[in-house]
Amino acid sequence: MRNFKKYALALLFAGSTLAVQAQSKSQLEQDLDNLRAWMRQKSTQADSVTRAEWPTIKQEFRNLTHSLDENTEKLSEQSKEEYKTYKNRYNEWEKRNEERQLVDLDGEELERWELAMTGTTRIASIKTANLRNAYVKLIDYVREHRRGWSLRDWEYAEFVFGELNTRKSEVLDKLNNGDKIKIAALQAEFVTLKKGREAQEMYKDMRDKR
């Protein structure tokens, strides 16, 4: 009887341990799900976050990854690789943005770019109904003029784009689905056009070093 009690207690202890481990693993997978959703949400803004937004972005990432960093070994191999990919992507994003934030822009010149790209110097006050048209105007301007832009010109364009993205985040709940879809497509196009310029610069650098 005594041996039976010991056996039962051992099974109970083992069961409790497995339950705790399963719960821990489940929570970690949920943390990874939350990070995945956050990365997806931020992907269209990756190269357009303004100086004022950046501290919040960094804090959000730290909060989302705190538990994952401490318990990475408990993740499955597939989840570990996924988490590593997200961290690398974020680190590259952080590096680009912090380098960009070091650039000082001239106030009067910035207003000229704001007016040319969106039709107003008061981007923070654009009405919800006019936001889609502001993005259309901005992308039309980029398509028409980007081939002659210097890297400095791109800094101004990116800043204006970031201001527009900030305004979008403020009125997101008021946008209809059609506008959300159109704006997301235009945001993606801006990032693609910018990456095209970066690719050209890399090719030029490689050619010059030969």
Any idea which of 53-62, 73-82, 150-159 has the lowest mean pLDDT? 53-62
| This prediction's pTM | 0.53
Residue partners of 193: CB distance under 8 A and separation at least 6: 142, 143, 146
**For 56-68, what is each residue's pLDDT tens digit?**
788 889 999 999 9
CA distances from 105 to 58, 102, 157, 163 (A): 23, 10, 11, 14
**For 25-66, what is each residue's pLDDT tens digit?**
588 889 999 999 988 887 656 555 666 577 778 888 999 999
At 191, is the secondary structure helix, strand, or coil?
helix
* The most confident of 16-25, 109-118, 156-165, by mean pLDDT: 109-118
The packing angle between helices 151-171 and 128-145, to 10°, is 160
